[in-house]
Amino acid sequence: MIQTKALTTATSVQLNIKHIDMTYQEAKQQAFKVRWKVGKCFSGDECWCKPIQGEEPIMFMDGDREQEHYIVDSGTISKEIAEYIVDLHNKNIEQ
C-alpha cells in the first residue's frame, strides 16, 4: 500500500518535470498549485530582499529559452514578508 503511494508520487513528480513546455500564463496558474519557498537573492544572503519561487522550479518557455517563473522577484519584498507569505501559502494548499 505504502509502496503504491510512493510510486504514484514518483510518477506525478516525473510528469511535472517533463512538463517543461508551459507557457508563461500556464506557469502563473501552476504557481498557485505548488508549494513555495523563500529563494536566494542574486546579491547574496546579506541582501535585505528575498524572492519567492516554487519549491520545485516552475519552468516555462520564453521563446526557445527555458526560464524559471518567480512568484515574487528579487528586490521586491523583505525576508520577513517572504517567509510570512510562503508559510501562509503552503499552509493554504495543504488543506
Which residue number, 47 or 85, has a Cβ lying nearer to Zn ion? 47
Q: Looking at residue 49, what DSSP letter applies?
A: B
* In the complex, minimum distance from the CB of residue 47 to Zn ion, in angstroms, rounded to a whole number: 3
* In the complex, minimum distance from the CB of residue 43 to Zn ion, in angstroms, rounded to a whole number: 4
For 45-62, b/e burial (b = at least 16 CB within 10 A) is eeeebbbbbbeeebbbee
Q: List C-alpha distances in Å: 90 to 20, 22, 41, 48.
A: 23, 22, 21, 23
- Give me the residues that bind Zn ion (CB under 5 A), please: 41, 43, 47, 49, 74
Which residue number, 22 or 49, has a Cβ lying nearer to Zn ion? 49
* In the complex, minimum distance from the CB of residue 41 to Zn ion, in angstroms, rounded to a whole number: 3
